[in-house]
Chain A
Amino acid sequence: MQSEQPGNQEASLPSQTDAELFLALRNGQAAALGVIYDRHAGLVYGLALQTLGNPQEAEDLTQDIFLTLARGSSYDPRRGSLRTFLAILTRSRSIDRIRSRSSKQKLADRCNPDLQQEVSSNTPLDHATQYEQSQEVQEALAQLSDSQQQILKMAYYDGLSQSEIATQLNIPLGTVKARARRGLLKLRQTLTSFTR
């Protein structure tokens, strides 16, 4: 547990939980970011690389994500895991970058219509769904209802907030939340049963 003594604020980082590290970071202990980075950079970079398809852009985004975390983010450790927060933030910003890239490309296409077809076949969602899932995971997902699969994918994979999902699907927010949780619960139960 962290000391309140000023002399130890920079010092005590035997931290083990993400919540402790995040609090330390909020309190100015920049070194806490190093531990958070060591735990989650592989996830963030992997997601960025998968979505953006470019190592340099993935590197830039990874830096962006961790600096955002250090300099102020909306993460609330009481409401959810840091890892999911980072994953959704990475997805969301990756897709923003692809959209920005596409917008610039479309602008260029007005001068060069020959490239238009190439851009239109590479939308963010098309890119994001290129991830290959194992047979086991596919079978587990098949146990979920279509709605549960869709909502989980929109939430975690496409980086959409639950209110955005509710709006897009035209269903109540509470329904989105309940289906997401039930879906994840079922997913966990099925995947766990595979490993037994």
Chain B
Amino acid sequence: MSMPSDQLELLIAGYVLGDLTPEEAAEFEQLLAKYPAIAEDVAQMQTSLERAYAPPDVPPPPHLRSAILNQVHLAEPLLDTSSTNSLPSPPAVFTARQQRFPWRRVFDLAAASIILALGFYNYRLQQALQTAQPSQPDAILTYSLQPIQAGSEASARVVVDPNTLEATLMVENLPPLPPNQVYVMWTVLEPNAPFTTDDKDAILTEVFRVDEQGNFTETLPVPVVYRVEGVVTNVAVTIEDAAAPQLHVGAPVVIAQPL
């Protein structure tokens, strides 16, 4: 699909400009499903638009990411969505979400269909992978977390792929917590590393709960610090207040260093 038809190219331009009509969007979905290589044309079109009308990317200050994510985490505490209807006076964010619910269902159905069709990478990610992977893929990092408390059988294992900034977290035998508490996985950096951390040199990486057997497995995005050799000194799991896990007041339950 190196040379799409004029009509298809106009649809791609419409997608990149964000102005497809519902009918065009449906047609575009079908074409994407039939010709996945269209993703490359989308990426080229997006790049062309930005070359002409956008400045080069500028990395924001490092602290901004955690500031934004902390606000979102605070607004959306870990809460079973099935129980939100029973809350007597839910926070504004949940009220808004409930009001949007019928729309969201419709949206979800529509979005699910486009996800099937849009089986292509975000163009920036794609570009990054295309350029990064063939050259020097970083080695997989494995952290084996052991319990602090003697006699505990708790353990966790974190396997990080620095190339995709994706990790698998596997937890075993951590005791289930009451509803007002959560487990938090922290990425601990060397002191004075040039990244935004809390006062314990840590970055909140994931908030989670374990099942009744004390187990939990998850694939999660991790901070870019894992790409910088020697910066991550440790990975640890603590118990935190579910309403404010970012405060980082708990002591490590399990902790490790890279193998």
A binds B: yes
Q: Report how far A70 CA is from B71 CA in the complex, Å.
A: 10
Q: Report how far A131 CA is from B53 CA in the complex, Å.
A: 8
The one of B17, B45, B61, B81 in contact with A155, judged by C-beta atoms closer than 8 angstroms, is B17
Q: Report how far A110 CA is from B229 CA in the complex, Å.
A: 57
What residues on A are CB-neighbors of B115 within 8 Å?
A: 1, 17, 19-20, 23
CB of B211 within 8 Å of the partner chain? yes
CB of A57 within 8 Å of the partner chain? no
Within 8 A of A (CB), among B112-145: 112, 114-115, 118-125
CB of A102 within 8 Å of the partner chain? no
A-B contact count (CB 8 A): 233
Given A43-B57, A63-B64, check contact A84 B165 (CB 8 Å).
Answer: no
Given A26-B108, A84-B18, A181-B13, check contact A13 B220 (CB 8 Å).
Answer: yes
What residues on A are CB-neighbors of B22 within 8 Å?
A: 78-79
CB of A172 within 8 Å of the partner chain? no
Flag if B111 contacts A19 (CB, 8 Å): yes
Q: Report how far A9 CA is from B218 CA in the complex, Å.
A: 10
Flag if B122 contacts A39 (CB, 8 Å): yes
Flag if B49 contacts A72 (CB, 8 Å): no
Given A42-B58, A84-B46, A141-B52, check contact A79 B20 (CB 8 Å).
Answer: yes
Flag if A79 contacts B71 (CB, 8 Å): no
Interface of B, secondary structure class, is helix
Distance between A12 CB and nearest chain B CB, rounded to angstroms:
6
CB of A98 within 8 Å of the partner chain? no
Q: Report how far A70 CA is from B79 CA in the complex, Å.
A: 17
Q: Report how far A83 CA is from B26 CA in the complex, Å.
A: 20
Q: What 0/1 pattern do residues 139 to 162 of A give for CB contact below 8 A with B?
A: 011000000000011011100001
Within 8 A of A (CB), among B45-69: 45-46, 48-61, 64-65, 67-69
What residues on A are CB-neighbors of B93 within 8 Å?
A: 71
What total of chain B residues lie within 8 Å of the partner, measured CB to CB? Answer: 80
The one of B15, B51, B100 in contact with A81, judged by C-beta atoms closer than 8 angstroms, is B15
What residues on B are CB-neighbors of A182 within 8 Å?
A: 10, 13
Q: What 0/1 pattern do residues 1 to 23 of A give for CB contact below 8 A with B?
A: 10000111111111011111011
CB of B44 within 8 Å of the partner chain? yes
Q: Report how far A182 CA is from B7 CA in the complex, Å.
A: 10
CB of B254 within 8 Å of the partner chain? no
Given A28-B81, A41-B64, A66-B68, check contact A180 B17 (CB 8 Å).
Answer: yes
Give A136's nearest chain B residue, CB to CB: B51
Q: Report how far A144 CA is from B169 CA in the complex, Å.
A: 51
What residues on A are CB-neighbors of B68 within 8 Å?
A: 33, 37, 62-63, 66-67
Given A11-B219, A30-B72, A59-B64, check contact A184 B48 (CB 8 Å).
Answer: yes
CB of B75 within 8 Å of the partner chain? yes
Q: Report how far A143 CA is from B196 CA in the complex, Å.
A: 45
The one of B26, B51, B221 in contact with A137, judged by C-beta atoms closer than 8 angstroms, is B51
